[in-house]
Each structure stands twice: as C-alpha cells, then as structure tokens.
Amino acid sequence: MEWLNYHHLYYFWTVARTGSVSKAGHELHVSPPAISAQLHSLEESLGEKLLVRSGRNLKLTEMGRVVYSYAEDIFSLGRELMNAVKDRPTGRPMRLLVGVVDALPKMIAHRIIEPALRVGGPIRIVCREGDADRLISQLAIHELDVVLSDVPMNPSIKVRAYSHLLGECGTSFVATPELAKTLKGKFPQSLNRAPMLMPTENAAVRRNLDYWLDSRGIHPFITGEFQDYALLRAFGQASTGVFPIPSVFEKDLKQQDRIKHIGKTNDVRQRFYAISIDSKLKHPAVVAICNTARQELFQRSAHAA
C-alpha cells in the first residue's frame, strides 16, 4: 500500500490556499526553499504536476484542483477530530441514512421521518428508495441506518436484521365531492362498480384490499394502478376514482386536498415497520422516529381499532 505524506500535503494545501510559496512560508514559519522541496517531493510521489507558475503566483493544475479538494476535506476533518477530542462543538451534522421501500407511500414516509429533525443539533437526512431486498442488503453493509417498509423483513433474506413495528391503522376510502355524489348505496356496497384507483400488487395492502372486496362481493372498476402513491393521489384529486388511504392520514389529506370521506374499514390493516441491524435501536434519530410513531402518530388509530 502506498502511503501519503500528510506533512507534504499540508504544505501544498497551504500554498494553494495562500497563492504563493512566500505567503505559505510566512504562515507556516518555514523558509520558501524548504516548502518548494516539500512540494517537489509530493509531486514526485503522486507522479503529477500540481502547481504551475502564473506571474508571481502559483496556479493549480487540473490534477492540483482534485488534490486540493481532497486536502480540504482531510484537514477539515482533522480540525473536527481535534474539536471532538477536546469536547468543542464541531457543527458537523449527524447523518441519518434512510431506505424507503418503493411501495411505501411517500406521505407516510415523510411523517415517520420528520421527528428526526427535532432530535437536537444539526442533522442531515439522506433518503434512498428501492425494492426491499436491495435496501436490506445496503443496511447489512451499514450503507443505511434504517429501512422503512410496509411489511416486515422477508425471513428468506439471509441478513440478520430486526423489524420494529411502528404502528398500524385501518383503511379509509376517499374521493372528490363530485365523484362521491355519483356513488350509490351505503358503504361498502357503494364501492361496487365504482371507479377505483389502487396501489400495484407489490404493495402489501393491495392483497388485503382485494381479499376484503372479493369476500363482500364488491367489484369496483379499477381505473388505475400505481406504484407511486403520490401519483395515485394526484389522479384521485382529478376525480379519476375512489382511492384507499391509511386512516391515520385521512385528517391530513382532508386539510390539504379537496376530498370527501366515503367509508372506513378496520378489517384492512396497514402496518409500518422500521428495519434495523440492531435488535435494540441506538441511533438517536431512529429512536426518535420509532418513539414518535408509536406514541403519537399511530396512537389514535390504535384506540380506534
């Protein structure tokens, strides 16, 4: 393995930052010839020219800009390390890497993740979407802190991970007021032959919805199937069909959208999980997500069930 001489890199970084060897020497209390020798050694070890003369100053080459960018990160982290050791505030944000299973409605994901912003101190949330298997594999190699899903982890996946139930709720059916007026009969019979928008079959709730409708002899006319819940919701707002939503979010949707309640069933339960490598959650932001979901977000739904 080739080792980088960080002493030489620090001299280069100072020269690039100040714009000349003489200014760098004044800042470092080192003679200009000594600095020039260090720069030459660094360029030889890298096999690249990093600086070229431009008048009385030095200018970064293309490779010099690349090396300078890395040097900036290296010495910035060095300062943060010293601050952390000396218990000084670093200002470095906590990172929360969240995987969101693509079948999970983004409105729900937002409400579940949002409490992480209130853990105290700066935080940077990075969200990645994808199928459950791919996200779980990223979780296994610590590229993610948590995965949010509408189903627990598949036991056939050879990863040691734990599914933490965040909460559950029933399912409500809503539509625009114009469409609601055209429905005939009482709920749930009013859904028979009604235009309906549904999540695609990869969503856990779709299988439960199909079973519930079939068991009651209700056969709506499926006008659209959507993997992306935001798109399903947009079509619903355009009076394309009645659409199902998690009951716990019905109040929020009524405030945001012009929709009317058609009916609700607790027989179609929608469950939400946080999947982690740890059986006992440790990341402060993940703990905040889980506690808020259980104690506040799904609390009223649990009482209603």
- Whether residues 46 and 103 share a domain: the answer is no
State the average pLDDT over residues 108-112: 90
264 and 183 in a common domain: yes
Rounded distance, CA 267 to CA 289, Å? Answer: 26
How far are the Cα atoms of 21, 39, 49, 301 from residue 42, in angstroms, in the given order? 15, 5, 9, 64
The answer to the question of residue 1 being in a domain is no
Phi, psi of 142 (to 5 degrees): 65, 30
- 208 and 119 within one domain: no
Residues 76 and 119 in one domain: no
Strand ranges in 77-192 using DSSP code E only, listed in sequence order: 94-101, 123-130, 146-149, 162-175
Domain extent at residue 46? 6-85
| Count of all residues that appear for the chain in the document | 305
The string of pLDDT tens digits covering residues 120-153 is 778 889 999 988 888 998 888 888 999 999 989 8
Whether 175 and 257 map to the same domain: the answer is: yes
25 falls within a domain: yes
Asked if residues 114 and 297 have their Cβ atoms less than 8 Å apart, the reply is no
180 plus 223 within the same structural domain: yes
Mean pLDDT of the chain: 87
Q: Establish if 57 belongs to a structural domain.
A: yes
Longest dimension (CA), the chain: 92
The last residue of a domain, from among 67, 85, 103: 85
pLDDT score, position 149 = 94
Digit-coded pLDDT (tens) for 36-90: 999 999 999 999 999 998 877 788 998 998 899 888 888 888 877 776 666 555 5
Closest CA to 105 of 259, 260, 244: 244
* Residue 264 neighbours by CB distance under 10 Å: 20
Structure-token match 């009013």, residue found: 190
Place of tokens 């949002």: 114
Its sign, for the CA torsion 211, 216, 217, 219, is: negative
Are residue 161 and residue 191 in the same domain, yes or no? Answer: no
Residue where one domain finishes, among candidates 68, 85, 102? 85
Which residue matches tokens 């020497």?
25
Top-confidence residue, 47 or 107: 47
Domain identity same for 42 and 181: no
Residue 282 counted as domain residue: yes
pTM of structure: 0.66
Of 24, 58, 85, the position where a domain reaches its end is 85
Number of structural domains the chain divides into: 3
User: Looking at residue 243, which CATH number applies to its domain?
Assistant: 3.40.190.10
Q: Are residues 265 and 276 in the same domain?
A: no
If asked whether residues 259 and 284 sit together in one domain, one would say no
| Residues 117 and 204 grouped into a single domain | no
- Give DSSP secondary structure letters for 257-299: S--EEEEEEEEEEEEEEEEES-SS---HHHHHHHHHIIIIITH
Phi, psi of 232 (to 5 degrees): -60, -45
